[in-house]
Amino acid sequence: MLVGILTGVLGLGLAACGSTPAADPPKGVDALVIPTPSPDPADFVDRVDNPWLGLAPGSTHTFRISGTPDAVRVVVSVADRPRTVDGVTTTIVEATTTDARGRVVATDRTFYAQDRDGNVWVLGAGGSGGVWQAGRSGARAGVAMPGRPRVGDDYEQQSVPGVAEDRTTVVDVAAEVSGPAGSWDDALLTKVDSRLSPGNEIRLWYVRDVGVVREEFPNGAVLGLASLPH
């Protein structure tokens, strides 16, 4: 439902290329340490209900893909059962990508958890885009969505040294967006780039109480929400 999972299933992630650049100064929102080296399980709640990125167990989102020849649909589902990552109980989100013949070409998982202030964290991912978990091999939990997103907020989303070092910036909180599922004029627009692949930028539009409705990739591929989630 986010860049962390959808770039993996499409093979469009901001992958490493060349040598690793020097580390940037830490950035974050609301005095949070992002990425965090050691999340405290006591800081987290059982459900992810951030209005921009609610992950109700059992819910499903279906996306149509344009601009890429191999994949045509991604079905994103939220598992009913949680999983513990680095001591934190997480919500599992699975994305299944199929081609024009209905054949499964990729299946990926991402692990999310929400803290008491409403910030949604990414604690791991696995599938065709790679496998990582916070607390292992230097990987640290990043933020998928702040509890109160504001223009200019800038934070690490995935922090896996040399593998996934993605940063998100909030661009607009009243953006216009349209697609198969509808049109909105109050969307949240973010952009994602990577220290490992400078110049490649992914843009995502979120709608309150819906989630991601559109995602644009640097190779021209576009992911659009096909219908309102159920």
Cα distances from 62 to residues 10, 96, 97, 106, 207, in angstroms, run: 14, 10, 10, 15, 15
pLDDT of residue 23: 43
pLDDT of residue 126: 84
pLDDT of residue 165: 86
How many Cβ atoms sit within 10 Å of the Cβ of residue 179?
18
Rounded Cα distance between 75 and 96, Å, is 5
Rounded Cα distance between 16 and 67, Å, is 23
Mind listing the domains of the chain with CATH numbers? 3-225 (2.40.360)
The DSSP code sequence of the chain is: --HHHHHHHHT------SSPPPPPPP--STT--SSBSS--GGGB-S----TTS---TT-EEEEEEES-SS--EEEEEE-SS-EEETTEEEEEEEEEEE-TTS-EEEEEEEEEEEBTTS-EEEEEEESTT--EETTSTT-EEEEEE-SS--TT-EEEEEEETTTEEEEEEEEEEEEEEEETTEEEEEEEEEEEEETTSTT--EEEEEETTTEEEEEE-TTS-EEEE-S---
Rounded Cα distance between 18 and 105, Å, is 28
pLDDT of residue 21: 38
Mean pLDDT by 10 residues, the chain (230 residues): 49 40 52 87 96 94 83 90 92 92 91 96 81 90 95 91 88 95 96 86 96 92 85
pLDDT of residue 196: 83
pLDDT of residue 46: 92
pLDDT of residue 16: 37
pLDDT of residue 208: 96
